[in-house]
Structure 1
Amino acid sequence: MRFEGHKLIHLIGIGGCSMNGLAQILCAKGYAVQGSDRAESPFTQRLNELNIPVVIGHDPKNLGDADLVIYSAAIKPDNCERQEAEKRGIPQIERSVALGMLSEGYSQVVGIAGCHGKTTITSMVALICEHCDSGDGGAHRMDATVHVGGNVDFLNGGVRIGAHDVFITEACEYVESFLTLRPTIALINNIDDDHLDYYRDIDHIVDAFRKYVNLLPENGLFIGCSDDERVKKLMAEASVKTMSYGISDADYTPGNVTRDEFGNPSFDVMHEGKSLGRIELSVIGDYNMLNALAATVVALSLNAPFEAIKRALGEYKLTQRRFEFMGERNDIRVYHDYAHHPGEIKAALDAAKNMPHNRLICVFQCNSYSRAKTLFCGDRHYMNSADLVLVPDIYPGREVDTGEVHARDMVDALERTGVNAMYIPTFEEIRAFLDSYTQPGDVVITLGSGDVYFQTKKLL
C-alpha cells in the first residue's frame, strides 16, 4: 500500500508526538489530511494553525469521506472510529508502518535509534538543519525533513519540513517499530534492557537492533556509540561502513573538555587526532555532550559545514521534559526530567550533581508496576548521586495493581545500595515534607514519564 491515490487520510490519535508530525509531513507533500484525538494539546493547536482539521473526541462520523486511516499504537481495535473504518472497508495502517512507508519516498533516510537520547539527538540535528538553511547555504544537503518524537520549541512541535530529499527520524525500538524504516544511515546511541513488557530479555532487544542495522543497503552507513559494548559488538559484526563516536577509542571523540559554572560542557570535536573545532553547549551533562557528538557525526556525514553545527549546538536548549527548569520557590530550584530507566536516571542525576547546589533531592515516580518489578527492585546503583530520594506511589498507566510490587519495595532496593530513600505516597505530602526539609540552595529534580510532570507543578 502507498499513500498515492488516497483522497483523504484520517489520523486517529493525531495529537500524539509522532502522529502530529506525520500529519504535517503528509500535508506538506500535498495529501489531504484530517484527524481526531481525545483531548486538546499543543500539538492539536499547532495542527489547527496549519489548517489541518482536528476533531476533539472520537466518533464514527469523524471519518467523513476518508479513504485511508492511520492510527497510533494507543488506539485499539475497539475504538469506534477504527470499527467504522472496518465496517466501511477503509484500509487501516499503524503509525510506525505509515512512517516506514513515508520514508520510502526519500533517497536518503537517517534513522536515529537507541534506548536513550534519540529525541535529543534528533532535535539537535533539526536545529543544525535550521542553521544550514539560514546562513551556511541552501547548497548543503541538510535542508532535511526531520521527525522528532517530542515537543521542540524552535519547531513549534515535533517536525521540520525541508526542501531536500533527506528524511531524518527517530527510530523507536518499542515493539520493533523501527523495522518498518528503510534507513540509508542508521545511528544507535545505546542498547539497554528497556521495554521488557514486549522483549523477553536483553538478547531479544539486541537482536531487534541487529535486524535494524541489517536494513541498511550495501552502501549504507552505521553510526554507533563505541562507549556502549552492545553497540560496539554490532559495529564489529556489520557488513556496511561504520563510523563511531564516544568518550575515547572512537572515530570522533570530545577533547579538552571544560565545564562552565552551571556544569555545561565545552569540547573540541576530535577526528583522527585533529580538532575540527570547538563546541560550547548550553545544556548540562556528559550524556548531552555525547548526544551533541552524535548529532555532529550525522550532520558531517550529510555534508553540513562545521560552523553551522557549532552555532546550532551552542544555542540548543533541551526539549520539553528533558532537564526542564520548572521554577524556583524559596531559593530552591525545581527541575524535571523524563528519565524513567536506571541508565537515564543515573545520567540525569550525575549531570545535576555538577550544577551549583546545596543538596540534591530527587523525586522519582515509576510509571508502571511491571517496570517497578523488572527494573527498580534489584540492586542497581543508579541514584547514588542524590542526597535524598523520595518515592511516591507507582503510577499505574494502563496496568492494574495486582499487589505484587509496591513503591516501598523500590525504597528497600535503593536503601540496599546505600541510597537515602523515603516512601511518601502523594505529591501533596511530598510538598509538605519539602517545605519543612529543604534549605536555600537545594535543587529538587523530579523524574519519570507518568503524570509526574504535571504533579511537579504542585511542588512550586
Structure 2
Amino acid sequence: MKNIFFIGINGIGMSGLAKIMLELGYNVSGSDLKKNYMSTEMEKMGIKIYDSHNEKNIIGMDTVVVSTAITEDNPEYKKALKGNLLVLKRGELLAKLLNDKLGIAIAGTHGKTTTSSMLATVMLEKDPTIVVGGIVSDIKSNAKYGQGKYFVAEADESDNSFLYMKPEYSVVTNIEEDHMEKHGSLENIKKSFDKFISQTRTEVIACLDCKNVEEIINKVNDNKKIKTYSLKNKDADIYAENIEIKGNKTYFNVFILKKFVGRFILSIPGKHNIYNSLPVIYLAIKMGIVLDTIVEKIENFSGAKRRYDILLDNESYKIIDDYAHHPTEIKATLEGAKSIEREKITVIFQPHRFSRVKFLLDKFKGVFENADQLILLPVYGAGEKDDFGISLKKLAEKIDHKNFKIILGEEELEKELLKGDYKKVEIFMGAGSISSIAHRFAKKIEGK
C-alpha cells in the first residue's frame, strides 16, 4: 500500500488522512470537483489533486480511499471496485491508524470538532497524532502525525464508520436525531452508540445531561468503564459549577470525583463549550498533563475553524462564520452569542441538505429566538435532489421568527447586509457554501 488515492480528497476528514499518509511515507494523490483552502495546502505539500473524477486518475494505485459523499456511480470508485485494488472507506482507514495507537475518539451528534480540537491542543506536549474535523489553531491544520503514543480523532456516526474504531478512551458528547436518511430512526442511532461504547477498551467519558446518553450508559454492565460529566448533577464524576460570564470570557469551577480541581476560563462563548471542556480536562489530567498547562491551554483555545470563527471585527461590523446547521447546534451557538455580544445579531442561515430539513423540520421552531434578524438562504443540497417537498416558506413558518427575510442570491444578500450604520454582529451559519459567502463579504467590508 504505497500508492494511495483519495476520492473526494478536499473534504475536511479526507484531507486530514491524506496528510497523515503522506507523512507516513506514502505516495498520495486524489480528486475532487471543487478546490478549497485544504487543497491549496495539500498541493503545497506535494499531493497531486485532480479537479475531475476520471478512471485514468487511479492507474498505478494500490489503495483507494472513498469519502462518504462518493456514490458507486463515480467512475474512479467503479474502476477501483472492478480492479484488484484495496478499497477503504474513510472511516476504515482512520480506524486502522487509530487502533494501532492509544486511541482517544470523540463521538456525539454535536461538539465533536470543538472537543477533539481542544483536547488535541491541550495534549500537544505529548506529540499526539491528530485527525479532527476543523483547523486546530496551534498546528494550523486539521491533522498532524505525532511520534507520541496517543491518537486524537473525531468519531463519525453519520455513516456508522465510528464502529470500525476500538479506542482506548472515548467521549460521547450527546446523542440526537441526525442523518436520518441513513439511520432511519433514533433507536438505530442509539444502537450504534451502544456498540461504539462496548468497543471502547478502557473508559468512556459520557455526558450525563443528555437523556439518550444516560439511557445507554445505564445499561452498560461494566460501570467502572463509564465516567460521567455534567453541569446539573453533582453526582457525576466530572462536574462544573459557579459559572460566571465576564466580558467575552466564561469562568467555572471543576470537580472530579467530588474533589475541587481548579477554576477554568474559556475564551469561546456558550454553555455548550463548558460541556466540551469537561472531558478534555479529565483526560488531560489522566494523561499526566500539569494542571497549570491545562488551565492555560483551555483559556487560550480560540475554537476550531468555523466554530464561532470571527472573520472581521471593526467599528461597523463583526462578521462570524459558524458551522451550526442542526437545530440544537444553532440554539446553543446563539445562546452563547447572546451572552457576550452587545450589538444586534443578524443570522444568515443556509439550511443544509433537503433530507435534514425534512426530518428535523419540527425541531427548528424557536431556535433563532436569540437573533434580532434572520435571513434565510436557499437550501444547500450537498448532492441531494430537491425531492423532499421542502420549501423556504415552509421552513420559515416552522421557525416562526418575528423579523426574517428570504433572500435567494448573494448580490441581494450583500445589499441587505450593507443597510444601516450601526455596529452589526452578523453570523453566517450553516455547513454548505455559506462559509465562502461569509469570507467574500468580510473581504469586501475590509476593503472598504
TM-score (norm 1): 0.88
SS in 2 for 1:277: strand
CA distance 1:238–1:200, change in 2 (3 Å)? same
Q: How far off its partner does 1:419 sit?
A: 4.3
User: Does the alignment pair 1:61 with 2:56?
Assistant: yes
SS in 2 for 1:237: coil
Q: How far off its partner does 1:328 sit?
A: 4.6
1:104-115 aligned at under 5 Å gives the runs 104-106=99-101, 108-115=102-109
1:24-423 aligned at under 5 Å gives the runs 24-106=19-101, 108-130=102-124, 133=125, 142-217=126-201, 220-240=202-222, 241-249=225-233, 250-262=236-248, 264-328=249-313, 331-377=316-362, 380-402=365-387, 404-415=389-400, 419-423=402-406
Find the aligned partners of 1:33 and 1:395 in 2 and give their Cα distance: 30
Find the aligned partners of 1:379 and 1:15 in 2 and give their Cα distance: 30
CA distance 1:156–1:64, change in 2 (3 Å)? farther
SS in 1 for 2:183: coil
RMSD: 2.2
Q: How far off its partner does 1:82 sit?
A: 2.6
Find the aligned partners of 1:227 and 1:403 in 2 and give their Cα distance: 33
Alignment size in residue pairs: 438
> Match of 2:416?
433
Find the aligned partners of 2:130 and 2:379 in 1 and give their Cα distance: 35
Q: How far off its partner does 1:329 sit?
A: 6.8
Consecutive unaligned residues in structure 2, runs of 5 or more: none
CA distance 1:412–1:308, change in 2 (3 Å)? same
Q: Is the contact made by 1:357 and 1:441 (CA closer than 8 Å) also made in structure 2?
A: no
CA distance 1:77–1:288, change in 2 (3 Å)? same
- Which amino acid is 2:103 matched to? V
Of residues 78-87 and 180-189 in structure 1, the stretch that sits farther from structure 2 once superposed is 78-87
CA distance 1:168–1:329, change in 2 (3 Å)? closer
- Which amino acid is 1:192 matched to? E
- Which amino acid is 2:408 matched to? P
What whole-Å deviation, never above 9, does each CA across 1:319-372 have from its counterpart, x for those lacking one? 221111132576132212110011000001101111232322222221122222
SS in 1 for 2:182: coil
Q: How far off its partner does 1:271 sit?
A: 1.9
Of residues 227-236 and 424-433 in structure 1, the stretch that sits farther from structure 2 once superposed is 424-433
Q: How far off its partner does 1:430 sit?
A: 3.2
Find the aligned partners of 1:261 and 1:292 in 2 and give their Cα distance: 19
Find the aligned partners of 1:39 and 1:368 in 2 and give their Cα distance: 18
Consecutive unaligned residues in structure 1, runs of 5 or more: 1-5, 134-141
Q: How far off its partner does 1:394 sit?
A: 2.1
Find the aligned partners of 1:53 and 1:404 in 2 and give their Cα distance: 40
> Match of 2:15?
20
TM-score (norm 2): 0.91
Q: How far off its partner does 1:251 sit?
A: 1.5
Find the aligned partners of 1:22 and 1:88 in 2 and give their Cα distance: 23
CA distance 1:295–1:145, change in 2 (3 Å)? same
- Which amino acid is 2:90 matched to? R
What whole-Å deviation, never above 9, does each CA across 1:51-92 have from its counterpart, x for those lacking one? 344444333333242212112122222323233334432221
- Which amino acid is 1:145 matched to? T
Find the aligned partners of 2:34 and 2:347 in 1 and give their Cα distance: 31
CA distance 1:174–1:403, change in 2 (3 Å)? closer
Q: How far off its partner does 1:94 sit?
A: 1.2
SS in 2 for 1:73: coil
CA distance 1:399–1:75, change in 2 (3 Å)? closer
- Percent of aligned positions with the same letter in both sequences? 28
- Which amino acid is 2:336 matched to? A
Q: Is the contact made by 1:63 and 1:81 (CA closer than 8 Å) also made in structure 2?
A: yes
Q: How far off its partner does 1:101 sit?
A: 1.9
Q: How far off its partner does 1:105 sit?
A: 1.6
Q: Is the contact made by 2:345 and 2:424 (CA closer than 8 Å) also made in structure 1?
A: yes
Of residues 156-165 and 376-385 in structure 1, the stretch that sits farther from structure 2 once superposed is 376-385
Of residues 153-162 and 35-44 in structure 1, the stretch that sits farther from structure 2 once superposed is 35-44
Q: How far off its partner does 1:168 sit?
A: 1.6
Of residues 334-343 and 422-431 in structure 1, the stretch that sits farther from structure 2 once superposed is 422-431
- Which amino acid is 2:179 matched to? H
Q: Is the contact made by 1:247 and 1:254 (CA closer than 8 Å) also made in structure 2?
A: yes
